[in-house]
């Protein structure tokens, strides 16, 4: 049974929260969108009310998991974008990093981006479909910031960077969702095809004189 944090233990609550998120991750890896609060509480060895105490409600736990996985994905995407390589190679690497992430943990991806497939499961699990848009918006804004910092798009460049950022994320999400469900080709073929699609003005735009380059 979980006890109240004692005085003099400043890291206890944070550590316990992390442990609960790790337990939730294990259930999500097993059950995907059908992951339930009951199953997560059982995995963590606590009661459901205690789980609610830490996260407020199902949406609060979902949001904490979404931030955890989105942060990790963004770190990987930034590393791919900042790698010392020719621009097309970095674009390919960034696309491949995203697709490799959803391929490696498809149940986590489906949990974050898709609701349970039937109404009974949805009632018992997480209504996650309504929460996926903010995740995609965050990825779009982050990518827009990277493009704006590295590519000289001239007048109106900040707006265009946001258009590109959200457009590229939308393309990655739609193409990745289709590919993960149907597996019509190898990942490398999809990466190459998407890069070809992007390889228009981005290929010829100059780097910003005051930025790190792209």
Summarize pLDDT for 99-150 with one digit per residue, the tens: 999 999 999 888 888 765 544 444 444 455 566 778 889 889 989 998 888 8
Neighbours of 115 (CB within 10 A): 20
pLDDT at 41 over 80: yes
Contacts of 131 (CB under 8 A, 6+ apart): 59, 62, 63, 66, 112
Contacts for 54-62: CB closer than 8 Å, 24+ residues apart: 54/16, 54/17, 54/20, 55/20, 58/126, 58/127, 59/131, 61/24, 61/37, 61/126, 62/126, 62/128, 62/131
Domains identified in the chain and CATH numbers? 59-204 (1.10.357.10)
Coil/strand/helix, residue 151: strand
Instruction: Give this prediction's pTM.
Output: 0.79
14-34 pLDDT, tens digit each: 888 889 999 999 999 998 888
- CB-count exposure of residue 116 (10 Å: 0-12, 13-18, 19+): buried
20: left (phi > 0), else alpha (psi -120 to 50), else beta?
alpha
Coil, strand or helix: which one is 207? strand
């Amino acid at each position: 049974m979980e006890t109240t944090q004692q005085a003099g233990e400043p890291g206890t609550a944070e550590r316990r929260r992390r442990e609960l998120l790790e337990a939730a991750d294990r259930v999500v890896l097993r059950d995907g969108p059908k992951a339930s609060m009951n199953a997560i509480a059982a995995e963590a060895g606590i009661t459901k009310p205690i789980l609610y105490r830490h996260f407020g409600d199902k949406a609060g736990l979902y949001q904490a998991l979404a931030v955890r996985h989105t942060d990790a994905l963004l770190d990987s995407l930034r590393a791919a974008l900042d790698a010392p390589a020719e621009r097309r190679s970095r674009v390919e690497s960034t696309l491949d990093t995203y697709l490799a992430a959803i391929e490696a943990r498809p149940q986590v991806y489906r949990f974050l981006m898709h609701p349970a497939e039937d109404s009974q499961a949805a009632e018992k699990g997480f209504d996650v479909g309504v929460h996926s848009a903010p995740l995609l918006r965050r990825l779009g804004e982050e990518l827009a910031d990277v493009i704006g910092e590295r590519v000289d798009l001239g007048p109106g460049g900040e707006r265009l960077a946001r258009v590109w950022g959200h457009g590229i994320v939308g393309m990655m999400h739609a193409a990745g969702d289709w590919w993960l469900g149907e597996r019509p080709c190898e990942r490398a073929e999809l990466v190459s095809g998407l890069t070809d699609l992007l390889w228009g003005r981005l290929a010829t735009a100059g780097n910003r004189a005051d930025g790190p380059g792209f």
